[in-house]
Amino acid sequence: MGMTEHLQPLVAITGPTASGKSALALALAEELGAEIVTADSRQVYKLMDIGTEKPSVDEQARVPHHMIDVVYPDEPFTLALYQRQAYATINDVLSRGKVPILAGGTPLYVNAVLEGWTIPEVEPDMELRARLEAEAEAHGPEQLHHRLEVLDPGAAAGILPSNTRRIVRALEVIERTGRPISAQQDKVPPAYRILSIVLHCERPELYRRVDLRVDKQIERGLVEEVAGLHARGYEFDLPSMSGIGYRQIGEYLMGRATLEQAIQRMKWDTHAFSRHQGNWFRRAKTALRIDVTEADPLPEARQVVRSFLDGAYPLEGRS
């Protein structure tokens, strides 16, 4: 382990939607004078606040948050771009003598940073994308996902069968390069001393929290937020508008579902996504798991993080 002692620290807090990552990161950051680097593929978009559960103005005033409000909803934003900017941000925070806390629930974003993925830089092929998207529209994305399972089982395992955009991207990379996308994602661990905390919540309680969160988003004006974005010219077929909440409310605004149906679909789709997140984060062998089903994670997390920053916390597999 001796080689890691001189490395600068990075704390990561991850887990499924509604498990309390943001609240824990905020509490720890306030106590430590740390700064939060968000790992959320939706919070990068400006003007999208309620449906992405973006930190409030008050929370952002209390603790500096980075990697939110990076691009407008119609601007492209890739995993490679996120990783590059996240590393630059983490290094900037460390250069100012502060501790960076990587917090978020987008597994790809989290792992691209913590594991140092090398991401294939393949230019988008709009013609191929349009063809694959039309196929998904006609026959359902599951058929494309099955094709991806045959061509690249590793990539397929990390992508929900309903996530058309990412399935299309993986097939695009295979078509353009002739190699599976997973084979092109080598890993070069970044030069940080990493403490990774994964929050776990039993499903019945997690689903209860998710449903409560969805109801609160509707109360806070999610329908108005989505309608406002559409009125500004952001079409419902944009990648940014395909996220949970925006997609279902878009269906309602287009007259394809009642509001009650849209709300129920949001809840079910978030349940499915939380299962996917849980499955993904369970792979993190060296992470510390904290069960938040019935307990506040702050006391245990505080103790472990302070011990880690003092150099005392053991870091298996990080030598």
Q: Averaged over 274-288, what is the pLDDT?
A: 89
Say what the pLDDT of residue 183 is: 77
pLDDT per residue over 185-234, tens digit each?
Answer: 788 999 999 999 999 999 999 999 999 999 999 999 999 999 999 999 99
Q: Averaged over 77-96, what is the pLDDT?
A: 96
Structure tokens at 204: 């019945």
Say what the pLDDT of residue 288 is: 95
Name the pLDDT band for 89 (thresholds 50, 70, 90).
very high
pLDDT-wise least confident of 54-63, 79-88, 118-127, 172-181 = 118-127
Say what the pLDDT of residue 3 is: 54
Say what the pLDDT of residue 316 is: 44
Say what the pLDDT of residue 317 is: 37
Say what the pLDDT of residue 66 is: 98
Q: Averaged over 57-66, what is the pLDDT?
A: 97
**What Cα–Cα distance (Å) separates residue 200 from each residue in 66, 112, 205, 275?**
25, 21, 11, 11
pLDDT-wise least confident of 14-23, 56-65, 280-289 = 280-289
pLDDT-wise least confident of 48-62, 144-158, 305-319 = 305-319
Q: Averaged over 242-260, what is the pLDDT?
A: 97
Q: Is the pLDDT at 312 greater than 80, yes or no?
A: no
The residue among 117 and 154 whose pLDDT is bigger is: 117
CA 285/CA 289 separation, integer angstroms: 10
Q: Is the pLDDT at 2 greater than 70, yes or no?
A: no
Q: For the chain, give the mean pLDDT.
A: 92
pLDDT-wise least confident of 1-5, 157-161, 190-194 = 1-5
The model's pTM is 0.86
CA dihedral 124, 125, 130, 133 (to 10 degrees): -60
Name the pLDDT band for 24 (thresholds 50, 70, 90).
very high
CA 114/CA 149 separation, integer angstroms: 25
- Burial (CB < 10 A; 0-12, 13-18, 19+), residue 263, is buried
Say what the pLDDT of residue 1 is: 42
Q: Is the pLDDT at 104 greater than 50, yes or no?
A: yes
